[in-house]
Structure formats: C-alpha cells, structure tokens
Structure 1
Amino acid sequence: MKKILSVVLGLSLASTAIAQDKDFDQYVKGLKAEAIEKGISAPIVDRAFAEVNYKPRAVKADRNQPEKRLTLDEYIPKAVPDWKVKQAKELYKKHYAELTRIGEEYGVQPRFIVALWGIESNFGRFTGNYSVVDALSTMAYDGRREEFFRKELMAALTILDQGHIEVEDMKGSWAGAMGQCQFMPSSFINFAADGNGDGKKDIWNTEADVFASAANYLSQSGWDDSYTWGRQVKLPNGFDMNLEGRVQGKEKTLTEWNTLGITRYDGRALPKLDNDIVAWLTAPDNANGRVYLVYNNYNVLMKWNRSYYFALAVSHLADRIMLD
C-alpha cells in the first residue's frame, strides 16, 4: 500500500512540475514580448531566454529568509570579524592609489567604498551563481512581487543590450543582485560607472568599476565626505526616548544633543565642529542596547540597503579600517 501511495504521489508531483513548467514557458513568452516592446533588441532577448529555467530554490530562499532577530551586540562581531578587518586593511592598501583617485572624483572616503565591498560580497568572493535572467524570471513568475521583479528583469535585459556583460556571465543572487557590489539591475542602470575607462561597466570582474559604481551610488544619493556616518553614544539616566527616531523633525545638532546629556561612548563630550552637524538618535535594540547618533551619510547607506544591520556593519568596518 505504501509503495502504491508513493508511486501515486510521485506521479502527482511530476504532473504538477510539468504543468508548472508549461505555465512558466507561457509566462516567459509574455516577458519576451514585453522586452521587445520596450525596445530591447530581438537577438539579445532570444539569447537571454534561450536556456531560461524556473528556479524553485530562488523562491524557497525568498520565502525562508531567517526570522531570528539578533541584537547588534550579537550581529556586529559576526558581520565585522577581525579577519575581515584585516583583509579590508590589506585591500585598502593594495588599491590605495585607485581608491584615492575614485574617492576624490566622487567625493566619497575610500574606506567606505572598501567597507561596502567587504560587507556586500566579502570583497568579491560571494556574488551569487544564479543566472540573473533565471532568477528574475522565476521571482516575477512567483508573483509575490511581480511588478518589482519584472521591472528588474527589463533593466537586466537593457544591461545586456548595452553590452556591459555577456548573457552567460551575468550572474547574481537568487533575488537578482549582481556583481561585487550586489547591485540590482535598476541600480546598475542608475549608478554603475566605468572606473577604468574601457567603455564598459563591469561590476562582476573589474575592481575599478566596482569602486567607482559604489562611490557613484553614494555620491548621487547625497553623501558628504566632510563628515563620517555617526558614532555610538551613551545616554544619561532618565533620557526621554521619545526623542529617538530617524525621521524628519527629530534631528538636532550635536550641540543640542550635548546639552541633553548625550556623550561619546567613552563618556567624553560630543565633538564641537565649526559647522554644527545635524544628527538623529537611533536605538535599534531599544535604550538598553547600542545607541547611536547618525548623520545624513548613514541615511545614504540606508538607501543602499534598508537594513540597519547592513548600514551599521558597513559603518563599523569603515571605522575599523581607519582606526585599527
């Protein structure tokens, strides 16, 4: 009986898979028609979809993202271990001339470029091995965020049409994030830059392009290299936590925060600057966890990735590059 049930179940699953494949093939026909309508060349569309496959692992990854919430005291040491700091400093020195040139061109401190590189892809080691066309077609077909992923797929096809990368080399994450700086295709269209002057924007293999693209993203998003990202601080006893929040209207100058009793993490007074910078108080883990005063550059990092884990990991790695 068990054997019969097993066979029936196997046939049922196989039938479901075949039906799904047929539905996906039909969906791809619609994607191809949309791409042609948007002006992407027919040969590129044919090549891009020639071996497109539905990737159930991508859907599984999207639906099974970890839910366990780490505190920052748990997360930061994992995200910015000493070995990563050591590698970051070595790569900072190795690429110093190129990083300096690009940093000056875009108005971004090189240590933040290296920190983004390190946190996003472990300095280019982990960039994802999915075909970007496969991943984005799958995620669009899945339907949970169809409009978003269809838009990203059209951007990916535009990148192929512009000749920046070959179809077989366009690899990325299950969500379609690409290259060593893990740009979504729309971010590539808006911010990718040619860092070595060869006419291509290769964020997969060309480090100068990776650095320039990251710097261009920050620059166009409002980065100010006159300042850093912020700092970890201490609150006085009985501090009014209604003042906490990274929203418009809750910003204050460092002088104002100093008057309210907030100090640097080591207890010293907040710095006095010629131009009194505006900062927001943020306590992601509540007042009993890590507390920060963050500047607008931190807000820019949050545009790159809306996770405060990410923004603080980049910020801490950038600080370690400078201070250690």
Structure 2
Amino acid sequence: MTHKWLAILGLAVVLPLQAADKVNFEQYVAQLKQEAVARNFSQATVDAAFAGIKLHKRAIKADRNQPEFKKTLDTYLPQAVPDWKVAKARKLMEQHRELLKRVGRAYGVQPRFIVALWGVETNFGSYTGNFSVVGATASLAYEGRREAFFKDQLFAALTILEQGHISAEQMKGSWAGAMGQCQFMPTSFLAYAEDFDGDGKKDIWTNKADVFASAANYLKQVGWRDDLTWARQVTLTQPVAKELTGLNVKRTLSQWQQMGVRRYDGSDLPTRDVEASLVQPDDAQGRSYLAYANYDALMRWNRSHYFVAAVGHLADRIKFSQ
C-alpha cells in the first residue's frame, strides 16, 4: 500500500526519508564510480579498484561494535607487551640494525620506537588485515554514520592506486581500511608514506625500508623529538589537583617536582628544562606518567593512552634489555 493510500485511509504511518530513499549497495557503488571518474581518476583505475567489490558486513559490524576497554594498565600491558614480543623485538632490531640506524638518522626518531610501533600495530608485519581497502571503505561509507570520512579514505585509496604504489588486488588492510605493516589509513599514506629505497613505490606492505621510514616520517611530522623519551612513570608524594592532569596542561619538571611528583623509585625528577604533562590513563589510583612531547606525537598516531603506553613500554624494554 502506497503512502498516498495510507493517507486516504487516515493511517498516520510516516517512514523516514532515509529508509525510503536508501539505495542498495550496488547503486551506491555505481554512484562512487561516477564520482571517481568526475574526479579525473582513470577508467582503468576505477575498473580495477571496484572489480568484484562486495558489501563487507563484517566491517560494518566491527565499526558498530568496537569493544570498550574494561581493563587497567596493570592488566593490559602484560598482555599487550608479553616477554615473547620483547624477545622478538630485540631479534628483529638486531636483524635490521643498519637499516633502522639509517632511517633513525634521516628522520630523527630512535629506532626502538619504530620497532615498538611495528610490533604493537601488526606484530612486526605478521598481521596486517585481509580486507579489500576499497571494499571496506566503500562499505563503511555506504553504512552512513561516517560517510564523509570513509569516502575521503576511498578516494585517497584510488589516488594510491593511480600513482602505482600497489595493485588493487594487493591493497589489503583492516576492516576500517588501515593498511600495511604500519597500518596507515589511505589519507595518512598520502601525507606520510615514504619511498626510502628509491624504487619509485611507497610500499608499506612488503618493503621494510618503506615501512620503517613511513612510520618515522609520521612521527617526525607530528613533532617527535629524538632527545626525549616518551614518558616516565612517576609517584606522587601528595595529591595533584585533577585540573592539572591531562595532556593539555604543560609544566616544567621543576614545577612538577615542587608539586610532589617524583620518579617511580621516589628520587627527585631530572633537572632538565623540559615540559611534561601528568597523565593518569586509568584514574588517580592507577599509574601516573609524566608525558613528554613524544607522548603527544604517539597520541596523534592513535588516540588511545593504552596504545601509547604499550608502544612506550615495549620501546623501554628493548632499550633496557640491550
């Protein structure tokens, strides 16, 4: 029965416009292809990118049902940075020592942090995701909650294909479209990926030189400092007002010292003239860190204090075990 007849019969049934007007996925893909051509992508790129495309319902389900953290750092870190991962990081750091040193010098990033990011993101490249990046981003754009964001990622992916860095068939990633061994979203790839070995391709899927350099370039561009570590765990000899905690508040180490902040072993803070933030990822009863500029840089990579703590913890264990 049409809306017209429902109205004549006096039935107050109103369907949302979105539900009435929603196109199916095949129609949506056809619109995307038309837009891609209008944006001057070659027909060959468009045909290859959308060949065999299907709706990734698993990606949509994963986006809608991202788990909430119900752990603390004390329970999370041993799981995120187990002893076997530290041992593997040390082995791979030695295996790629010369390349990591060259990348570290070129971008001003300590190699242990490059390896730690690599380990936390994809278990050193062993798990990078098996979703079609074009298919996943198209599916998530179609779902509609973040359509503009995922359309931007889709067209960035087409740009990567057009530039010849990888084939459409090989362009695999996570359910959200994060790609390669450093898990760059397509827009991040365009902004930060590097062709370190000069072969004409920015290959963050299989080329270690490009993987390491791309990660290092990202950190460099968002403010990394190679004269600082990421953070230091501290203890408080007296309570610190809640409004003084968090990354938006910066104080010098001497100022934190005056407020009763000490190294974790209870000794005085360093006397260096650097600023830091007091961060408590769980709460005032959990771990406290003095976070330096590199903590902020890692938060630009992934806006999760637990992610940053895992990367920093792994980097520290590599350093301290050498």
TM-score normalised by structure 1 residue count: 0.91
Output the CA distance in 2 between the equivalents of 1:252 and 1:303: 20
Instruction: Please tell me whether residue 316 in structure 1 is matched to residue 313 in structure 2.
Output: yes
How many aligned positions are there? 302
Give the 3-state SS of the residue equivalent to 1:166 in structure 2: coil
CA offset at residue 241 of structure 1?
A: 3.1
Give how far 1:22 is off: 7.2
Q: Secondary structure, in 3 states, of the residue corresponding to 1:232?
A: strand
Moved more, 209-218 or 57-66: 57-66
Rounded Cα–Cα distance in structure 1 between residues aligned with 2:72 and 2:239: 22
Aligned to 1:13: none
How far, CA to CA, are the matches of 1:238 and 1:78 in structure 2? 30
Deviations 1:191-224 (A, max 9, x none): 0001212111000011111000000000111111
Structure 2 counterpart of 1:299, from 291, 296, 299? 296
Other-structure match for 1:222: 223
Q: Note if 1:167 corresponds to 2:168.
A: yes
Please name the residue that 1:252 is paired with. 251
- How big is each residue's C-alpha offset from its partner over 1:262-291, in whole Å with a ceiling of 9 and x where there is no partner? 111111111122xx0100001111110000
Matching residue of 1:11: none
The equivalent residue for 1:96 is 97
Could you say which residue in structure 1 is the equivalent of 2:263?
Answer: 264
SS in 1 for 2:24: helix
Match of 1:62 in 2: 63
Q: Deviations over 1:46-78 (max 9, x none)?
A: 111111110111111111211242111111111
Of 80-89 and 58-67, deviating more is 58-67
Structure 1 match to 2:180:
179
1:156 match: secondary structure: helix
**Residue 212 in 1 paired to residue 213 in 2?**
yes
Aligned counterpart, 2:238? 237
Paired residue type of 1:119: V
SS of the residue 2:124 aligns to = coil
1:290 counterpart = 2:291: no
Residues of 2 paired with 1:311 and 1:37: CA distance?
Answer: 40
Match of 2:124 in 1: 123
SS at match of 2:240: coil
Question: With structure 2 as the length reference, what TM-score do the two structures score?
Answer: 0.91
- For 2:25, the aligned partner's letter is F
Deviations 1:144-178 (A, max 9, x none): 10000000000000000000001100000000000
Separation of aligned partners in 2, 1:290 and 1:68: 16
Q: 5+ unaligned residues in a row in structure 2: which ranges?
A: 1-21
Amino acid at match of 1:299: D
Q: Which amino acid aligns with 1:204?
A: W
- Distance in 1 (CA, whole Å) between partners of 2:132 and 2:240 is 51
